Amino acid sequence: MPPRYIAPEFEAPVFTCPFCHAYSTVRWVALMERTGEWGNSAQFGQFGTADPDAPEGEGWSPWSASVCPACQGVTFWWEGVMQHPQKVTYPLDAPLMPEDMPDVAKPLYEEAAAVLPHSRRAAAALCRATLDVMTKELLPTGAPKQLDQRLAILADRVTTPTYQLLHVIRHVGNKSLHDGVASDDAVVRFLEGVDPAATATYFRAIVDLVDELVTKPRLAEEAFAELPVTVRERIPTARPAADTD
Ligand SMILES: [Zn+2]
């Protein structure tokens, strides 16, 4: 399963850090406004401890900040609205990038997720590009040059829903960029974005591909190796052929 994603929300005790993607408790601080001989300045204060008797010109500004304990990244908020970073790397309908994704594909997936709220057409093209470089990386050298032919190799290695969705991503990615107009139902469905769950499904298919080809085999191998030898020896090495009776 990919890590849980919780969108940053004002005063929320826990959310996914937009910088390092850690899902952890955040520390909130308020910015205090001061007027003095040096003019106006601001400083951090303990959140929620404003002093109502503070002298005039001194008080809590509309700015506050949340600090990630994992990376010390600071997110700034103006009257409860997040101002920095402006780019929330993962909108709700794009799952968090899995650690096991090949490094060459990571920037593309991140960009697809980042651009999704602004251009679904660009997001579709970037999803397809992610799939393209990822399959080149994960399949042995000598695999076909065409993406559809590389995907065909995966038919026996991934679940049917994942396999089907990978083809949908390839098709929508092609059409959304080349045709300029939504030419069929699959393209319309993605480009209009009326169903956030459907969008999430396309992104999820990329995450699932990583899970099925990389993460799950690795974890299974590690777990299997921990079984007592006597137990492992009694397990057939190949799955029995399907019963045809
Ligand atoms: Zn962080």
Residue 80 has pLDDT above 60, yes or no: yes
Which pLDDT value is given to residue 243?
47
What separation in Å is there between the alpha carbon of 71 and the centre of ligand 1? 4
In the reported structure, the alpha carbon of residue 32 is separated from the centroid of ligand 1 by a whole-number distance in angstroms of: 24
- For residue 96, the CA-to-ligand 1 centroid distance in Å is 14
Threshold 0.75, pTM exceeds: no
Does the structure show a pLDDT above 80 at 64? yes
Per the model's pLDDT, the better-predicted residue between 20 and 136 turns out to be 136
The rounded Cα 103 to chain-centroid distance in angstroms is: 14
| Cα of 73 from ligand 1 centre, angstroms | 5
> What pLDDT sits at residue 49?
46
Q: 200 C-alpha to center of ligand 1: Å?
A: 23
| Beta carbons within 10 angstroms of residue 108's beta carbon | 21
Q: State the DSSP string of 1-42.
A: -PPP-----TT-SEEE-TTT--EEE-EEEEEEEEEETTEEEE
In contact, 21 and 15? CB cutoff 8 Å: no
**Residue 21 pLDDT more than 80?**
no
Q: How many angstroms separate the alpha carbon of residue 72 from the centre of ligand 1?
A: 6
State the average pLDDT over residues 197-216.
Answer: 90
- Say if residue 236's pLDDT is above 50: yes
| Whether the predicted pLDDT of 147 surpasses 90 | yes
Distance 19 CA to ligand 1 centre (A): 5
Q: Measured in angstroms, how far is the CA atom of residue 17 from the centroid of ligand 1? A: 5
Q: Output the CA torsion sign for 89, 91, 92, 94.
A: negative
Residue 1 has pLDDT above 50, yes or no: no
Mean pLDDT (whole number) for 24-52: 63
The residue behind tokens 């769950």 is 197
pLDDT in tens, 129-142: 999 999 999 998 88
Distance 237 CA to ligand 1 centre (A): 43
